[in-house]
Amino acid sequence: MTTMSDPPSESFRPSQLLNDTRYRSYTFQFIALLCLIGLMAFLGINLVRNLAAAGLNISFEFLGEPAGYDINQRLLEYDSQSSHWRASVVGALNTLLVAFVGCILATIIGVVVGVLRLSKNWLISKIMSVYVEIFRNVPVLVWILIVMAVFVAVLPQPRDFRGDSPEASMFLDLFAFTGRGFYFPQPYFTVEWATGSTGWLIIIALLVGALFGTRAMLARATRIQEATGVRPNTLWINLAIWFVPLILACVIMGLAWDIPELRGFNFQGGIFARNSFIALTLALSIYTAAFIAENVRAGILAVSKGQTEAAASLGLRPNRIMNLVILPQALRVIIPPLISQYLNLTKNSSLAIAVGYMDLTGTLGGITLNQTGRAIECVLLLMLFYLTFSLAISAIMNVYNNAVKLKER
Amino acid sequence: MSDTHAQSVAFVRDTMLPEQEPPATERGVIKWLRENLFPDWINAILTLVAIYFLYKIVSGAWPWFLNGIWSTDSLAECREILQGTTGACFSVLTERWNQLLFGFQYPNEEYWRPTLAFILLFVAAAPLLFAMYVPRKVLIFTALYPFIAFWLIWGGTIIVPIVALVGFIAAYVAFKQFERNSFAAGLGAGVLAAAVVWYVGGFLSSAMSGVLALPEVPSRDMGGFMLNFILGTVCVSLSLPIGILLALGRQSSMPIIKWICVVFIEFIRGVPLITLLFVANVVLAYFLPPGTNFDLILRVIIMITMFSSAYIAEVIRGGLAALPRGQYEAADSLGLDYPQAMRLIIMPQALKISIPGIVNVAVGLFKDTTLVSVISMFDLVGMIRGPILASTEWNGVYWELWGFAILMFFPVCYGISKYSQWLERQLATDHR
Of B50, B286, B373, the CB nearest to A376: B286
The CA distance from B146 to the nearest CA of chain A, in Å, is 26
How far apart are alpha carbons A188 and A255 in whole angstroms? 6
> Which pairing describes strands A271-274 and A176-178: parallel, antiparallel, or unpaired?
unpaired
- In chain A, domain spans: 16-52, 84-137+149-175+276-404
Last residue of a domain, one of B14, B46, B63: B63
Domain A84-137+149-175+276-404 falls in which CATH fold?
MetI-like fold (1.10.3720)
The CA distance from B140 to the nearest CA of chain A, in Å, is 32
For residue B306, pLDDT over 80 is answered with yes
If phi > 0 it is left, if psi is from -120 to 50 it is alpha, else beta; for residue A6 that is beta
Mean predicted confidence (pLDDT) in B164-168: 86
The contacts of residue A293 (CB under 8 Å, 6+ apart) are A109, A110, A111, A113, A114, A117, A128, A131, A132
How far apart are alpha carbons A98 and A285 in whole angstroms? 10
ipTM at complex level: 0.87
Partners of A368 on chain B (C-beta within 8 Å) are none
Would you call A365 and B413 a contact, using CB atoms and an 8 Å cutoff? Answer: no
B375: in domain: no
How far apart are alpha carbons B405 and B99 in whole angstroms? 13
Of B255, B290, B367, the CB nearest to A139: B367
The CA distance from B216 to the nearest CA of chain A, in Å, is 31
* The predicted structure's pLDDT at residue B4: 57
Report B:315-374 residues touching A (Cβ under 8 A). 332, 337-338, 341, 363, 367-368, 370-371, 373-374
In chain A, whose CA is at the least distance from the CA of B228? A139
Which tens digit of pLDDT belongs to each residue from B223-251? 889 999 999 999 999 999 999 999 999 98
User: Is the Cβ–Cβ distance between A73 and A274 less than 8 Å?
Assistant: yes
Report B:226-255 residues touching A (Cβ under 8 A). 253-255
In chain A, whose CA is at the least distance from the CA of B376? A354
Which tens digit of pLDDT belongs to each residue from B184-230? 778 888 888 888 888 888 777 777 767 777 788 888 888 889 999 99
Partners of B371 on chain A (C-beta within 8 Å) are 141, 351
Most confident of B70-79, B168-177, B409-418: B409-418
Which tens digit of pLDDT belongs to each residue from B253-266? 888 889 999 999 99
Residues of chain A predicted below pLDDT 50: 1
Of A139, A351, A391, the CB nearest to B274: A351
Give the residue from A193, A358, A352, A144 showing the smallest Cα distance to B402.
A144
Report B:283-312 residues touching A (Cβ under 8 A). 283, 285-290
Q: Which amino acid is at B333?
A: S
* The predicted structure's pLDDT at residue A326: 85
Mean predicted confidence (pLDDT) in B22-46: 82
Would you call B278 and A382 a contact, using CB atoms and an 8 Å cutoff? Answer: yes
How far apart are alpha carbons B145 and B127 in whole angstroms? 12
Three-state secondary structure call for residue A188:
strand
* The predicted structure's pLDDT at residue A6: 58
* The predicted structure's pLDDT at residue B273: 92
- B9 against A133, higher pLDDT: A133
Cα distances from B46 to residues A108, B42, B112, B425, in angstroms, run: 18, 6, 51, 35
What percent of chain B clears pLDDT 70, i.e. is strictly above it?
97
The contacts of residue B21 (CB under 8 Å, 6+ apart) are B27
For residue B181, pLDDT over 90 is answered with no
Of B289, B363, B406, the CB nearest to A142: B406
Last residue of a domain, one of B14, B47, B63: B63
How far apart are alpha carbons B424 and B356 in whole angstroms? 8
* The predicted structure's pLDDT at residue B410: 93
Of A28, A29, A365, the CB nearest to B275: A365
Residues in chain A: 409
Partners of B267 on chain A (C-beta within 8 Å) are 387
For residue B1, pLDDT over 70 is answered with no
Give burial (CB, 10 Å; 0-12/13-18/19+) of B253: exposed
User: Is the Cβ–Cβ distance between A220 and A248 less than 8 Å?
Assistant: no
pTM, full prediction: 0.86
Number of domains present in the structure of chain B = 2
B197: in domain: yes
Q: Which of B286, B345, B381, B408 to mutate to test the interface with A (most CBs of A within 10 A)?
A: B286
- Beta bridge pairs of residue A83: A66
Give the residue from A259, A245, A254, A257 showing the smallest Cα distance to A203.
A245
- Beta bridge pairs of residue B69: B89
The contacts of residue B298 (CB under 8 Å, 6+ apart) are B219
For residue B2, pLDDT over 70 is answered with no
* The predicted structure's pLDDT at residue B243: 94
pLDDT tier at B388 (50, 70, 90 boundaries)? Answer: confident
* The predicted structure's pLDDT at residue A286: 94
Partners of B89 on chain A (C-beta within 8 Å) are none
* The predicted structure's pLDDT at residue B56: 92
How far apart are alpha carbons B300 and B296 in whole angstroms? 6
B258 contact A CB<8A: no
The CA distance from B51 to the nearest CA of chain A, in Å, is 8
Would you call B271 and A361 a contact, using CB atoms and an 8 Å cutoff? Answer: no
Mean predicted confidence (pLDDT) in B62-91: 82
Mean predicted confidence (pLDDT) in B31-50: 84
Q: What is the mean pLDDT of chain A?
A: 83
Partners of A21 on chain B (C-beta within 8 Å) are 337
Q: What is the mean pLDDT of chain B?
A: 85
The contacts of residue B290 (CB under 8 Å, 6+ apart) are A46, A49, A50, A53
Give burial (CB, 10 Å; 0-12/13-18/19+) of B319: buried
- Give the count of Cβ contacts less than 8 A between chain A and B: 164
> Torsions phi, psi of B234, nearest 5?
-60, -50
Domain, as residue range, for B37:
33-63
Residue A378 DSSP one-character state: H
* The predicted structure's pLDDT at residue B7: 65
Report B:17-36 residues touching A (Cβ under 8 A). 35-36
Q: Which of A6, A42, A141, A340 to mutate to test the interface with B (most CBs of B within 10 A)?
A: A141
Q: Which amino acid is at B56?
A: K
B98 contact A CB<8A: no
